[in-house]
Amino acid sequence: MSAGHAAAAHVISAEVGETHFTVHIGDGQIAHLGSLWAERAAGEQALVVFDGNVAGHAEAAAASLREAGLRTVMAEVPPGERSKSLSELDRLCREAARAGIRRADAVVAVGGGVVGDLAGFLAASYLRGVRLVHVPTTLLAMVDSSIGGKTGVDLPEGKNLVGAIWQPSLVVMDTATLDTLPGRELSCGFAEVVKYGLLDSPELFDRVEGWPAPLPGPAGPLLDLIRDCVRHKLDVVSQDERETGLRASLNLGHTVGHGIEAAAGYERYHHGEAISLGLLAALRIAERIRGLDPAWRDRTRTVLERHGLPTRLDPEVRTPDILAAMGRDKKADSTALNMVLVDEPGVVLLRQDPPADMVISAIEELRA
């Protein structure tokens, strides 16, 4: 903790739905969590939800909260996607009840996407809604899952099938937590960063394209990069919280990506790796439907490869299985398969039900 770190932090004020909140991005921000929360909080307690991989960060967060005068209760969940279940939610709700958590108190989610999604749904549903603070400790959670209010758990029938839209009251991103993150997890987060480059503007794409290996990269520019990804997502989500239109653009690379992830049984590819492949497939389809300049796909492939992300599809993951998994996505969400396409970075459109042969050949070309 140092005043210098705090001074260098970015602060973004956001308004989504009826919720106003701030996002703080800086090196060493966890040490300031308590004072940032105490500035706005009426509550007296915090339930800190975390997994064993980030026990140290969770303890630092709790210490900062206690220093600011809050009582803290620690709730550890097992690491990994299997914790995103209704039975784990049940267990956490009972912990909240025994701790006497009230509506003005906070659930503080310290960790990556799994902890954030689970603790977020806990905050949305316990007492029909208590305050939520996100302390994302992975690059993926910082640029993506801690922003936008999507919370939820999985069913055996599919991922994220049960949940709520629930906005945090505060988000504190401490880039120091990225220093100990495994390289594979950093890469996965970077796949979403590449997505923002394509969605946002040629200017952001250029910065993403030039990002040096190894991740996470130089400290000052890293804060700016995360800030600009967060700003892009907040801008979209504030216009379309419940994904009736524009928000679907954030799914660039996710239509085919989810299909690959599911067809490979969620083991072979982590989420960001599947998105890496999905981005390339989406760009290929955009070339055929929209006449996107193929140079963008070449440049995207180069930057993905530089940061250790897959750009060739494992031949053992079969195309029919990918298509079947994409069909299940379609069934749950709407009557149509929605594909996000780009004309160039920053010019995005949604295309319902793209021709099946184009989707199939884009997947096949990932094997080349």
Q: Decide the pairing of beta strands 19-26 and 170-174.
A: parallel
269 residue type, one letter:
Y
3-state secondary structure of 340: strand
Query: Does residue 258 have an active-site annotation?
Result: yes
330 part of the active site:
no
Task: Single out the catalytic residue among 88, 241, 243, 273.
Answer: 243
Set 258, 270, 284, 299: catalytic member = 258
- The nearest distance, CB 90 to a copy of itself, in angstroms, is 4
Q: Is 20 in the site for a copy of itself (CB under 8 A)?
A: no
Stretch binding a copy of itself (CB under 8 A), from 91-99, 218-226, 284-292, 314-322: 91-99
Interface residue with a copy of itself among 11, 97, 213, 349 (CB under 8 A) is: 97
Does the footprint of a copy of itself cover residue 50 (CB under 8 A)? no
Told to check if 40 binds a copy of itself by CB under 8 A, we report no
Looking at 214-222, 315-323, 328-336, 360-368, which segment touches a copy of itself (CB under 8 A)? 328-336
Question: Considering the rule CB under 8 A, would residue 102 count as an interface residue with a copy of itself?
Answer: yes
Name which of 37 and 126 has its Cβ closer to a copy of itself.
Answer: 126
Q: Is 336 in the site for a copy of itself (CB under 8 A)?
A: no
Contact of 278 with 260, CB cutoff 8 Å: yes
Q: Which amino acid is at 133?
A: V
Residue 126 in the binding site for a copy of itself (CB under 8 A): yes
SS3 364: helix
Handedness of CA 359, 362, 366, 368 (dihedral sign): positive
Beta-carbon-side half-sphere exposure of residue 217 (alpha carbons within 13 Å): 23
Q: Of 22 and 160, which has the nearer Cβ to a copy of itself? A: 160
Report the alpha-carbon distance of residue 54 to residue 146 in Å, rounded.
16
Catalytic residue among 24, 32, 131, 233: 233
Does residue 233 have an active-site annotation?
yes
Q: Is 327 in the site for a copy of itself (CB under 8 A)?
A: no
* Residue whose pair of structure tokens reads 């492949």 in the numeric block: 277
Task: Look up 20 and say whether it is catalytic.
Answer: no
| Residues 281-317: b if buried by 16+ CB within 10 A, e if exposed | bbbbbbbebeebeeebbebbbebbebbbbbbebeeeb
Q: Where do we find the tokens 């055929």? A: 288
How many residues contact a copy of itself, by CB under 8 A?
Answer: 37
Check residue 284 for interaction with a copy of itself (CB under 8 A): no
> Which one, of 251, 110, 181, 221, lies nearest residue 118 by Cα?
110
**Per CB under 8 A, does 21 bind a copy of itself?**
no
Task: Map residues 222-251 to x or -, x wherever contact with a copy of itself holds by CB under 8 A.
Answer: --------------------x---------
Residues 6+ apart with CB under 8 A from 105: 43, 44, 45, 46, 47, 130, 131
Beta strand pairing call for 150-155 and 158-165: antiparallel
- Identify residues 130-189 at the interface with a copy of itself (CB under 8 A): 150-152, 155-158, 161-165
* Cβ atoms of 304 and 358 closer than 8 Å: no
Query: What is the rounded distance in angstroms from the CA atom of residue 245 to the CA atom of residue 243?
Result: 5
94 counts as binding a copy of itself under rule CB under 8 A: yes
Q: Which residues are catalytic?
A: 128, 150, 192, 233, 243, 247, 251, 254, 258, 271
Site residues, a copy of itself (CB under 8 A): 86-87, 89-90, 93-94, 97-98, 100, 102-104, 121, 124-129, 150-152, 155-158, 161-165, 242, 331-335
